[in-house]
Every structure is written in C-alpha cells, then in structure tokens.
Amino acid sequence: MEENKMIINRLPMKTWNRLNVNHKNVTLSNIVNEGPSAMTFSGAFSTCDAVDAFDGIETGMGPDFDGFVAKNAPVAPVIYEIAENTTDNHVEIVLDYDTMPALADGSYMNVYRFIVGAGSELNILLDIRGTKPVTAITDVKIIGRAHSNVKLVEAKRLSDDIRYFGNVGTDFGEKANFELVHVTFSGKEVNEGCTTKLSGDKSSARYDIGYLSGMESDIDQSYLIRFTGKNTNGEIYSNGVLRGTTRKNFRGTIDFIRGCVGASGSEKEDVLLMDDTVVNLTSPLILCGEEDVEGEHGATLGRLAEEILFYLEARGVSEGDAYKMVADGRMASVIRHIPESPLRSELLSLVSEDETIAES
C-alpha cells in the first residue's frame, strides 16, 4: 500500500527550527474509502453538488493533508446545505470505532461539508470514540453565509492505541459567527488543526480547546484565525492537562491581513503539567499586515505553585487531589461550552470520575 509522507500543522511563519515546532512530519497509507457513520439531522437540510465552493477553503492541517483527503475521499463528498433564515438546525454524528466496520487496512476516514445559508443557524456535534488500535481521520469544511451562526463540537474519547487526525477549515461572511469546541481525552497520537477565515465585515470566531492527555500521548495542534474583513473579532482559548511522558505542540495564530481595519484578536493557553517528564511546546503567533488592529496572546504553563499546594494541604487536601481538582476545572470549563445534551453530561461525569488524574 502506498505510503504518503507529508507536512501538517505548519506555522504560517517559521520560527527557530531547532525547537522542531514549525510543523510535523507524518506518514499515512492510502485509504480505500470513507468509513460509515451514524448521522441524525433535524432542521432545513438538503444536499447540493457545489463541490467547487470548497476549493479555496484553508484548513488547519494544510495543503498536504488536503491533498491526501482529496485523493482518498469519495469522488463526490455529500454537501449538506442549510436553507436561508432558518433556526434550530442540528446534526449529530457518532463515530464509534469499536462498532463501525473498519476499512481493509484498519483505518477510518470521514469527510463532511456544510454550506449554511444567510441568516441561519447550525449546530454540529461530532461524538468520536473508540478503543481499537486504528488510524482515524475526520475532515470538516464549513461555509457560513452572511449573518449565519455555526457551532461545531468535536468530542473525542480515545484509547491509548488510536492514531487520530482531525482537520477543519471554515470561511464566514458578513456578521457571521463561528464557535469551535474541541474536547479530547487521551489518544496515542492526536493531530488537530482548524483554520477560520473571517471574510465578511463584523464576522467573528471563537475556539475553545480542552485536552487531557494519556501517559504517553503525542499531541500536535494548529489553530489559526485569519482576519480579512473589517471590524472582525477572533479568540482562541486552550486549556490542557498533560501527564507522564506526553509530548504536546500547540500553535495558535492570529493573522491580520492588510485591509482588516478595526479587527481584534486574542489567543491564550493554560497548561497544567502533572509530571516533570512532560514535553510542552507552545508557539503563540501574531502576524500583522494591518496597522489599525488589536492583538494579544499569552500562556500560563507549569505545575501548581507551592503556596497553593501548601494552602490546600493545610486544609486536608492531598497533592494528588489538588491536581485533580484543578484538572477537573480546566476540562469542565471547556465542556460547558457544549450545548445541553447527553454527551455534555457524559463528559462532565468522565472528568469527575477519572481517579487516574490524582494518581499520575
């Protein structure tokens, strides 16, 4: 089977290469077809053949990965279109790698395309889970017309045997709004990326990212918001908990393109390091091609401060329980951005009941 070597999650502007943060090199075998999924729709959905509409949509993982998906995805991916000026549109997608029939090479690939009509709302919930040692790919592209509101939730509960690739690309028109919620539990290798282009004036985007690593996870992330419209707003928030010998590389980019007058963007990452053996790499980046903009970024990384531990231990809270308390809060703060649903409740319970956090 043909092996494909590619670069994913490439920083828009290179930094000092010795740190190995500019991109990630991966190898993937060809995938024969798309894996089946369980999809539930409610609202004003139809299908169309506007495949060309997605040609210019940039994704988080970049052109190499886009080419791999185009080569391996079905010839004509289904494009779901939401009628104009409609609300209460929902799609729930369940990808359970333990019950879905795998492709011949033990891999899964699922491609989703959505066009959201002007003035309409869409909530997309992707529930991804599994324990089998597989390679799994999801690829999502969304076009939001003027005044549309879209929320994309991707919740992943993965065993330490799964190699996962999650790729997202979106483009939004005037006064449109996009919300992304990424929640990840464990996974042997988790690669994620999302790029949003704020094409229309007064459009906005917000990313809320949360992850709890396994003891030996490899997590690689690239999140970018590109501002081209005037008076646009974008925010990236990431909360993570890293354990054992996990290696994590986070790239968060705010990109102000010339002409995006009045745009504002921010990026903030908070990472709790449960063990001294964790490798944590963070690359916050602001690119500024326009003068009349506001941009800020920051990161808080490390273990709990000694004074906090002393305060809690003086009140009968062990060090392990103190770390669990903070880790629970980090993950719960992101999970609460998921709309009320059984999945939201399941994830909150998963956090509170996971005793391995205190033991790491």
For 5-27, what is each residue's pLDDT tens digit? Answer: 999 999 998 877 667 789 999 99
Report whether 62 contacts 221 (CB < 8 A). no
Residue 66 banded pLDDT, cuts 50, 70, 90: very high
Report whether 297 contacts 290 (CB < 8 A). no
Residue 352 has pLDDT above 90, yes or no: no
DSSP 3-state of 167 = strand
Report whether 216 contacts 249 (CB < 8 A). no
DSSP 3-state of 328 = helix
CA-CA distance, 171 to 145, in Å (whole number)? 8
Residue 328 banded pLDDT, cuts 50, 70, 90: very high
How many CB atoms are closer than 10 A to CB 103?
A: 17
Where b means 16+ CB within 10 Å and e means fewer, 138-168 reads: bbbbbbbbbbbbbbbbbbbbbbeebbbbbbb
CA-CA distance, 152 to 205, in Å (whole number)? 11
Q: What percent of the chain has pLDDT over 70?
A: 94
Residue 33: its pLDDT value, please?
55
Average pLDDT over residues 282-308: 91
Q: Which of 139, 134, 1, 143 is nearest to 61 (CA)?
A: 139
Q: Mean pLDDT across the chain, nearest whole number?
A: 91
CA-CA distance, 136 to 109, in Å (whole number)? 6
Residue 32 has pLDDT above 60, yes or no: no
Residue 106 has pLDDT above 90, yes or no: no
Query: Which domain covers residue 133, as residue numbers?
Result: 3-359
The number of folded domains in the chain is: 1
Q: Which of 220, 204, 209 is nearest to 283 (CA)?
A: 220
Name the one residue in this structure whose structure tokens are 């997202």: 168
Residue 309 banded pLDDT, cuts 50, 70, 90: confident
Residue 215 has pLDDT above 90, yes or no: yes
